[in-house]
Amino acid sequence: MERMLADIVGPGNVLTAGEDTKPYFTDWRKQYSGRAECVVRPASTGEVAKVVAACAREGIAIVPQGGNTGLSGGSVPTGARPEIVLSLSRLNRIRELDALNDTITVEAGCVLAAVQGAAQKAGRYFPLSLAAEGSCQIGGNLSTNAGGVNVLRYGMAREQVLGLEVVLPDGRVWNGLRGLRKDNTGYDLKQLFLGAEGTLGIITAAVLRLQPAPTASATAWIAVEAPQSAVELLALLRARLGDRLTAFELLSRNCLEAVLAHARDSRDPMTAPHPWYVLAELADSGDSRPLRERTEEALADCAERDALQDAVLAQSSTQAAALWKIRETVPEAQFTNVKHDISVAVSKIPALIERIEPALEAAFPSVRSYVFGHVGDGNLHYNVGPEGLVPQRPAVNRIVYDAVAALGGSISAEHGLGQLKREEIRRHKSALELELMATLKRALDPQSIMNPGKVL
């Protein structure tokens, strides 16, 4: 099999030595690791198709992998059956940028930051943005339907996609690379593959929407008394500032303290501690000064309504970057604990925290929660420490997930199911939903060779 694959992609792009394959066989958080026959690194859609066809003939499973920055174990092998890791990193060309149509056509291995940079050079803006954007790849972003900080204004990854190119499980290539905003000619097939985590086919290229490049920005670090205050503040700011509000991030004091301890060059933006913080970002056309003045007026109005305790408005891009660095450092500042990626309706975020915290404290007296995330779209990363609680992950998960279910939420907002939540999802989806998902899987992948052991 290795010789056959080498004939397709070249001997140097079939990796078998332990030192070469190790980075591909273990996830970023080192929670999941499994062996595979080899790592295959094709350089074109044609090569991907030939590799998949060969594996289909031989009954070898395929684990598609992008930047391997996922948090649910979806991009590494399980070792449960013969399989290969298919790395898309060499498919890294930007095929076309159509400024008049506001679209960019990119291959799956393009690093997200490179897509953002290409858009910027053309005077456009690609809004998908997350902490791993310097290493994650667009194919993985689309396969997991990534979220990030700009969902409030621009939506999830699937909202950025107009067309896809996909290699199907039998090696055929579906070319759906159409840059159309209106196309009512049947089923919207691209939606099957967005968020499917490589279990139905391999995304090899995509046509992405671009937006006008904002020329003005305002960034505010805001202290609030409680999550309820943050939700009310969000409503007030949206009423005053509309779609200019692009990001609205919530952080508990514990998160800020973790960052201050982890990153010695970081500074508390305020002189006095507060229980909760919001990081708000606004963007518009024109000059930044009028936007900052308008934001300052809105914050003053909110303060008069007792919707916030204090606020700091960045006066330069350097200050804004320092505020965002705090937010982006939160995940690595509390790396080892029990992590959750959950969502509820925005209005129910306070109720969710009010349900979870007492239950955790009753079960684990030493518990310390690190709550942060995209409150503007109802997505929280609810991480639970200390490190000693990790062996009790199932019990911690049950408390968190039961609270989420009681409020009609989701146990995976933007990270996907992967291996981490493959079994847990059976408790939260109806039998009919699971049946429909299994029917789609059998129809497209009857041999079940695409990323087995993930999602279903």
In this prediction, residue 31 carries a pLDDT of 87
User: Among residues of the chain, what percentage have pLDDT more than 70?
Assistant: 100
Q: Is the pTM of this model over 0.85?
A: yes
**Residue whose tokens read 């490190």:** 387
Residue 12: count other Cβ atoms within 10 Å of its Cβ: 8
| Cα distance between residue 407 and residue 401, in whole Å | 10
Would you say domain 341-415 falls under CATH 3.90.226.10? no
What pLDDT is attached to residue 330?
95
338: Cα separation from own chain's centroid: 18
Show the tokens assigned to 217. Answer: 């920005």
Residue 343 and residue 413 in contact, taking contact as beta carbons nearer than 8 Å: yes
Q: What is the mean pLDDT of each run of 10 residues along the chain (456 residues)?
A: 93 96 93 95 98 97 97 95 97 98 98 98 96 95 96 96 98 98 96 98 98 97 97 97 96 97 94 97 95 97 96 96 96 90 97 97 95 95 93 95 97 95 94 97 98 96
Cα–Cα distance for residue pair 336/257, rounded to 1 Å: 16
Alpha carbons 390 and 284: distance in angstroms, whole number:
43
Of 184, 185, 182, 202, which is closest to residue 193 (Cα–Cα)?
A: 202
Which structure tokens are listed for 42? 């094709």
pLDDT number for residue 2: 86
Sequence-ordered list of residues with C-beta below 8 angstroms from that of 142, at least 6 positions apart, any chain? 108, 157, 158, 161, 164, 193, 194, 203, 206
pLDDT at 262: 95
Domain at 94-212: CATH architecture: 2-Layer Sandwich (3.30)
| pLDDT value for 441 | 98
Alpha-carbon distance values, 177 to 107, 172, 184, 205, 382 (Å): 11, 15, 15, 8, 37
For the chain, the structural domain boundaries read 94-212, 216-333, 341-415
- Specify the CATH architecture of the domain 216-333: 2-Layer Sandwich (3.30)
Amino acid identity at 11:
P
Same topology between domain 216-333 and domain 341-415: yes
